[in-house]
Structures are given as structure tokens and as C-alpha cells.
């Protein structure tokens, strides 16, 4: 396996993946950023307008409305998904009766197409034909009926719950996989030392699963900022764009209004906001021990490389 350590072979192995990543990820991002500085309708030649689209954006009430809706969905979905998916994974990891069936049931929404998820929840949340308001009518609790979707207030909260329902099983599966990887000897030692369940979770399990928690957190952050089909199917961004998110508003301006330049500026800002949030999370809650280990490995690699060069110089 010595040949794998050669730099040229490493480059050869990485090059195909890097080319695909460049063509399908980096290049579209660069093109979106480029078009965000232009006035472009999709036909003809783009006209460079500088920061005009961004100035327009920060003066656009619909942008701030969609930004507010996105952040409400992000905060609610992040808290619910991170906490409850971990708690449910802890519960399902125990050998309880019916745990296998529960795992299948919890994971099942994750394999449903988002557009179908939207259709399902329309029949649950719709203020006119939805099951929730229908049940409230049937039991005589008309005062509790609300416009769960399609209104100016509750829509982002309802959509966050829908996203939570869809993603819960997938994230629970990631946590269960992480729990299965924990050394049994450590857990047995904790039991022998008299640690209770709370102490095992807070002192052993969470510290040992920081990398899993970070992975799930980043998946939630990036996922919330990509919510599109659920919004389109449940509300279509309406009424009057009041339930738009950053992604759906970008889509509306790009493809419905034909304002490619402004739509790309919205997409660019969405991308930047998600990057900032991921960066903040990584800076404050990332796995610092793993970073220290990576830094130590890089330092050892440099020292080994320097020693190898010195040995070659001495031999010469």
C-alpha cells in the first residue's frame, strides 16, 4: 500500500470527485454569485448593475418577511430536532419491547418525497378541510380553530413542525448509529461506579458523541435553509407572499417573475446566512478535542517530513 502514500496517486484518486464537485457545486455557486450583480431576464446578455440587487433586497419588505419566516422555522426545527432526535435515539437504543417496530415507524416519513409530505399535511392543517379544525369543530371547540397554514402568523411554526416530522427519523438513525459505536466497557464501568442514567448521558454519552451531534446540527441548519417543496405544496408562499421562505422567494423571483439577477442575489444571501450559522455553531459548539487532535496530527506530520528531509540531507 506504499503507492497510496505518493502525492500523485492521492491527487489521481481525488481528481474525479473534485471535478464532479466543481462542476455540480462550485461552478453553480460561482454563476449564481456572478448573476446576482446583473440585471438578467434569462434571455439576451446580462447587464452588470453592481450592488443594485442587494440594495433593492434590503429595502424589500417581502425579503424581510421571508427572512423572518426562515429564521422562525430554523430556530424551532433546530431545537426540536436536535433535542428530541437525541432523546428518542437514547430510548430506542435500549432493548425494549417494540423498539424495532418503533424505529421503522419513526424512520418512515424520511423516505416520503417532500411534495407528498406537503400534500399529507395540507389535509391535516388546512383551515377549511384540515383534520385538526374538523376535530375541533366536532368536539365543539370552535374557539381553538386557527389558520394553521396560509396565514400571516402561524404558518412558519406549522411548517417547522412538518419539517420536524419528516426529518426526525433520519436524524434518530444517525444518533442510534453513534450510540452503537460507543465502547461497552466504558458504559459498564460507569454502571459499576454507580452512575445514574442522567450522569451517563451528560458525562459520558454526550461528550463521546460530539462529532455525531455536530453532524446532525449541520444537517439541520443546511436542511432548513433548503426547505422548498413543503412550502410550495402547502401554501405556495401565499397569501400575498406572507409565508415565503428565502428559498421559495428566490424561486418566485427567478422563475415566476423572470428576474434572474434579483433571484440569484436572494440565493446568494441564503447561502451566506447558512454558512455564517454553520460557522458560528462550529466555533462555539464544535468538537474542540477533535480539532486539537487534528492539529496535533498535522504537527507530527510536519515534524516527520522535516526529519525525513534532514535524514536525506545527512546521507547526501
pLDDT along the chain (316 residues), means of 10: 62 88 93 93 88 94 93 95 94 84 90 92 91 91 86 87 94 93 85 86 88 92 92 86 90 91 95 93 72 58 62 59
Q: Does some domain include residue 90?
A: yes
Containing domain of residue 125, as a range?
A: 49-56+70-285
3-state DSSP assignment of residue 127: coil
CB 270 within 8 A of CB 264: no
- Residues 80 and 222: their CA atoms lie apart, in Å, by 15
The whole-number pLDDT of residue 7 equals 72
The whole-number pLDDT of residue 315 equals 56
The whole-number pLDDT of residue 142 equals 84
The whole-number pLDDT of residue 183 equals 86
The whole-number pLDDT of residue 287 equals 59
Helix (H) or strand (E) holding 200: helix 197-200
CB 38 within 8 A of CB 46: yes
Number of domains making up the chain: 1
The whole-number pLDDT of residue 69 equals 93
The whole-number pLDDT of residue 85 equals 95
CB 38 within 8 A of CB 48: yes
- Residues 89 and 93: their CA atoms lie apart, in Å, by 6
The whole-number pLDDT of residue 135 equals 93
Q: Does some domain include residue 62?
A: no
Q: Does some domain include residue 274?
A: yes
Q: Does some domain include residue 95?
A: yes
Query: Which pairs with CB-CB distance under 8 Å and at least 24 residues apart come from 40-47?
Result: 40/260, 40/261, 41/258, 41/259, 41/260, 42/258, 42/260, 46/260, 46/261
The whole-number pLDDT of residue 161 equals 94
3-state DSSP assignment of residue 43: coil
The whole-number pLDDT of residue 304 equals 58
The whole-number pLDDT of residue 312 equals 62
Q: Does some domain include residue 37?
A: no
Q: Does some domain include residue 301?
A: no
Q: Does some domain include residue 127?
A: yes
Amino acid at each position: 500500500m506504499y503507492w497510496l502514500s505518493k502525492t500523485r496517486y492521492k491527487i489521481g484518486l481525488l481528481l474525479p470527485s473534485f471535478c464532479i464537485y466543481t462542476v455540480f457545486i462550485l461552478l453553480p455557486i460561482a454563476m449564481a454569485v456572478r448573476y446576482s450583480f446583473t440585471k438578467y431576464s434569462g434571455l439576451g446578455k446580462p447587464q452588470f448593475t453592481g450592488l443594485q440587487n442587494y440594495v433593492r433586497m434590503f429595502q424589500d419588505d417581502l425579503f424581510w418577511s421571508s427572512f423572518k419566516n426562515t429564521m422562525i422555522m430554523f430556530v424551532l426545527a433546530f431545537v426540536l430536532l436536535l433535542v428530541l432526535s437525541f432523546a428518542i435515539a437514547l430510548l430506542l437504543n435500549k432493548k425494549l419491547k417494540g423498539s424495532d417496530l418503533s424505529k421503522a415507524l419513526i424512520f418512515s416519513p424520511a423516505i416520503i418525497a417532500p411534495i407528498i409530505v406537503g400534500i399529507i399535511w395540507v389535509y391535516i392543517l388546512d383551515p377549511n378541510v384540515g383534520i385538526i379544525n374538523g376535530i375541533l369543530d366536532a368536539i365543539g371547540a370552535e374557539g381553538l380553530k386557527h389558520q394553521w397554514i396560509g396565514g400571516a402568523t402561524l404558518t412558519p411554526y406549522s411548517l417547522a413542525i412538518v419539517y420536524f416530522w419528516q426529518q426526525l427519523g433520519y436524524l434518530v438513525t444517525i444518533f442510534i448509529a453513534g450510540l452503537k459505536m460507543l465502547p461497552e466497557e466504558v458504559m459498564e464501568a460507569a454502571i459499576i461506579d454507580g452512575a445514574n442514567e442522567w450522569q451517563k448521558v451528560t458525562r459520558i454519552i454526550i461528550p463521546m458523541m460530539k462529532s455525531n451531534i455536530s453532524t446532525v446540527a449541520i444537517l439541520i441548519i443546511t436542511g432548513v435553509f433548503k426547505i422548498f417543496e413543503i412550502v410550495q405544496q402547502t401554501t405556495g408562499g401565499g397569501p400575498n407572499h406572507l409565508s415565503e421562505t428565502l428559498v421559495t422567494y428566490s424561486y418566485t423571483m427567478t422563475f415566476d417573475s423572470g428576474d434572474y439577477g434579483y433571484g440569484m442575489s436572494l440565493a446568494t444571501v441564503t447561502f451566506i446566512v447558512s454558512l455564517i450559522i454553520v460557522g458560528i455553531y462550529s466555533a462555539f459548539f464544535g468538537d474542540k478535542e477533535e480539532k486539537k487532535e487534528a492539529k496535533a496530527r498535522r504537527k507530527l506530520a510536519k515534524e516527520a517530513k522535516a526529519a525525513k528531509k534532514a535524514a536525506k540531507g545527512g546521507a547526501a
